[in-house]
Amino acid sequence: MLRDKHVASFTPTSGFAIEKICRKINFNKRNVIVEYGPGTGVFTRYLLAHSTPDSILILIERNEDFAHIMQETFQDPRLFIFHESAENVEQLLLYCNEQQADYIVSGIPFSFLPRPLRELIVRNSYRCLKEGGMFLGYQTFFQIDRFLKDHLDCDFDKVETEICVLNVPPLKIFEAVK
């Protein structure tokens, strides 16, 4: 985090928060799941453990060190790992021979991004989700709405917010449904 402010956290997300967020995913079917900002892979490990053998998981990580760590840590045929930025999600899905995703799980710190980039990421995320698909975002709980919630409200049909206190720091979880 000291070398790259976009990492935005000194500690990985807690197991409790991961469980609370991933409970919203239906793992009883084939899914195309995109993860923005996997970091060291705490969500990735959970998603792989619960996904069907024919599901795929596309990881988009902006930090080069983390992208390399992920490539070295995980050898799973269901995984595609990109050292890329989230706004390019549509091209990356096509590269994986997929048109649209069922879920996007996002840990990227929207408060560090300029407004046009926040809008672009949310709009592109909406476009590349299937009907009924979900954007699951987590941010620090003190984040004000204009950084993510307002953008989600603009583009998505239904947005719900929850707080998860069992994390350092506590988190706001957004469930936005297309």
Ligand X SMILES: C[S@@+](CC[C@H](N)C(=O)[O-])C[C@H]1O[C@@H](n2cnc3c(N)ncnc32)[C@H](O)[C@@H]1O
Q: Which residues bind ligand X (CB under 6 A)?
A: 6-9, 12-13, 36-39, 42-43, 60-63, 66, 85-86, 107-109
**Angle at which helices 42-50 and 15-22 pack, to 10 degrees?**
50
Residue showing the smallest CB distance to ligand X in the complex: 37
CB of 156 to ligand X, least distance (A): 19
Q: Are 9 and 141 in contact (CB under 8 A)?
A: no
**Smaller CB separation from ligand X, 31 or 139:** 139
**Smaller CB separation from ligand X, 30 or 76:** 76
Measure the CA–CA gap between 152 and 135, rounded to whole angstroms. 9
CB of 100 to ligand X, least distance (A): 19
CB of 102 to ligand X, least distance (A): 19
CB of 82 to ligand X, least distance (A): 9
What is the C-alpha radius of gyration for the chain, rounded to an integer number of angstroms? 15
**Smaller CB separation from ligand X, 37 or 132:** 37
Place of tokens 């807690």: 14
**Smaller CB separation from ligand X, 6 or 146:** 6
**Smaller CB separation from ligand X, 42 or 96:** 42
CB of 159 to ligand X, least distance (A): 20
Measure the CA–CA gap between 117 and 162, rounded to whole angstroms. 24
